[in-house]
Amino acid sequence: MTPQTLSAPSSTTNKAIGRTGVLIVNLGTPDSPNVPDVRKYLREFLMDGRVIDIPFFQRWMLVNLIIAPFRAPKSAKVYQEVWTPEGSPLKVYGFAVEEMLQKALGDDFVVKLAMRYQSPSIESGLAELQRQGLSRIVVIPFFPQYASATTGSVYEEVMRVLKGWQVMPELRFVNSFIDHPKFIEGFVQLGKKYIAAHQYDHYVFSYHGVPERHIYKGDVTKQYCKIGSCCDTLTPMNQHCYRAQCFETTRLLVKELGIPEGKYTTCFQSRLGKDPWIQPYTEDLVRELPKKGLKSVLAFSPAFVADCLETTVEVGEEYKEMFEEEGGEHWQLVESLNDSEIWVEALVDMVKKA
């Protein structure tokens, strides 16, 4: 037999070796603002056991027989308010960031956008990266603060997909980025624009809420959450606590914005169901501020890196109406990072550090 030898790798092959895939992941959006598509989205989203963490049969009954049928028509109307000619803002901003990040990182990286729910899916995004023959994949969930229902769910779905791969590249996750300088600077720049143009009586930092039980379940010590001031500082014992990370985000922002103590509040929005969610509730705060003589408010939503229903409609419109009904005079929402250059710069740094 004539011995066979392997040929030397081509320059194209050499170029592929060492390349990194980057999967950027946001929550998701319906394919259209029509009721059937919204209902489909709600079913996928709310059937996630990390979102509604009750036994499967109870969750199926609740989502498919109560929430999705009755909530979908109402949610569809709200989606129609924010829908653009190009589609859902969450997806429009996502694809813009994908393109900008790819350009900023260069040919040694392959960037793909995915949504945890609906399209483009995590599975399809990972499949595209798999075909590239990459050395490693970096996954960046677009949630500044870690929560089981968001970042944790992305982890779970990524690992569900990868467990079927014969060859697994090196995998890195960005767990949270509340203290990334450019993430903070991005919101500070946006906030200063409004502060320079108007005198505000109070500043509201509103974050998406989660049920209290999620926080208690995440306390690995089973003791730390019993401390009344457990969220006053971020420590090794509560570093993954969503509520503690939200309060830390506020502290970092107010420090850079120069907002004095007593002139700001951290609160939580978007309650669902009768079980207690983390407090204080934004809705209650909004109604109380005018009664205290605080008639002009600047509102931030630092749990979101792209504007969506929870920012544009809930904070920007619904809370404004509540505020004015109680005698408030000026309510201003600070937009999110969206497709800003400083947000892309933050992502470049996260990718390279990962």
Crossing angle for the helix pair 242-257 and 181-197, to the nearest 10 degrees: 50
pLDDT value of position 228:
64
Q: What's the CA angle centered on 103, arms 86 and 9, to 5 degrees?
A: 125
Identify which of 77, 97, 91 has the alpha carbon closest to the alpha carbon of residue 22. Answer: 97
Phi and psi angles of residue 251, each rounded to the nearest 5 degrees, phi first: -60, -40
How confident is the model over 180-224, as pLDDT tens digits? 999 999 999 999 999 999 999 999 999 999 999 999 998 888 777
pLDDT value of position 18:
81
Domain 13-177+341-353 bears CATH identifier 3.40.50.1400 = yes
How confident is the model over 142-152, as pLDDT tens digits? 999 999 999 99
At the top level of CATH, the class of 181-333 is alpha beta
pLDDT value of position 14:
47
Which parts of the chain have pLDDT scores under 70? Answer: 1-17, 227-228
Euclidean distance between CA atoms 90 and 26, whole angstroms: 8
Residues 6+ apart with CB under 8 A from 207: 145, 246, 249, 266, 267, 268, 269, 301, 302, 303
pLDDT value of position 273:
75
* Helix or strand run (H / E) with residue 173: strand 170-173
Tokens 């029509």 locate to 34
Mapped onto helix, strand or coil, the DSSP state of residue 175 is coil
Tokens 């985000």 locate to 249
What is the pTM assigned to this prediction? 0.92
Domain with CATH 3.40.50.1400 in the chain: 13-177+341-353, 181-333
Q: Are 232 and 245 in contact (CB under 8 A)?
A: no
How confident is the model over 40-67, as pLDDT tens digits? 999 999 999 999 999 999 999 999 999 9
Q: Are 187 and 253 in contact (CB under 8 A)?
A: yes
Q: Which alpha helices (H) appear in the chain, and where do they start and end?
A: 11-16, 35-46, 56-62, 68-82, 89-105, 122-130, 153-162, 181-197, 212-217, 242-257, 282-288, 319-325, 341-353
Identify which of 170, 161, 114 has the alpha carbon closest to the alpha carbon of residue 142. Answer: 114
Euclidean distance between CA atoms 125 and 322, whole angstroms: 41
Euclidean distance between CA atoms 354 and 343, whole angstroms: 16
User: CB neighbours (10 Å) of residue 54?
Assistant: 13
